[in-house]
Amino acid sequence: ELGPYADYLVINVSSPNTPGLRSLQKRQPLQNLLSSTLRARDRYAADTPLFVKLSPDLSLEEMSDVAQVALETGIDGMIVSNTTNARPSGLLSKYKVESGGLSGAPIKDVSTECIRTMYRLTDGAIPIIGVGGVGSGKDALEKLKAGACLIQVYSMMVYEGPGVVSRIREELVDLLVEGGFESVEDAVGVDCEDIYWKRKEERVRKRMDEKIKMSEVKEIVDM
């Protein structure tokens, strides 16, 4: 019932700190959960987008199942990814053996690859919020190129505070200009070339159709 007050709602089925929760990412449990939650959303907060947050520890087969369920249910988007249970060999902290979700720089590449995989599996049809190890404009651009259309930051907020958002945004703008991108949207999915050009053609066609409609309206008004 709080849905109408939110910018978007998230079903978190990927917290590594809740025993058994990640089993909800399996095909049939996820299908049931998303379908019932979408019905509740439509009843209480029909205009609020609903996202599902995924683990970076899924196998390719599991990601394929999740992608298919997301497409079938019509979920509004995915957040890729949550923290990981894995412990990369390069960790230096004395706390590296502790259990729980690992976030920040150590999961940057893993989460980016998960974004790239989910973008391919969904043919770029479902919006992805990219998250995991974003600490610079370069990190953000990597996730956009992999297929994310929005970026989320959490660990760096702890280390640097809210000002990190402005810094990342300014760095990203410079990199987009250097790369010849006209907008953030223009960079989304560029790593997946076949999907990228198909989606870009669709955007161009949509803009042309909108311009034609606007000119027709103007002609009618002028008559």
Instruction: Give the residue numbers annotated as catalytic, written as ranges.
Output: 15
Between CA 220 and CA 197 the distance in angstroms is: 35
Between CA 132 and CA 151 the distance in angstroms is: 9
> Kindly report the CA angle at 22 between 21 and 27, in degrees rounded to 5?
115
> Kindly report the CA angle at 7 between 214 and 19, in degrees rounded to 5?
140
Between CA 128 and CA 3 the distance in angstroms is: 20
Strands in the chain per DSSP E: 9-12, 50-54, 77-80, 128-131, 150-152
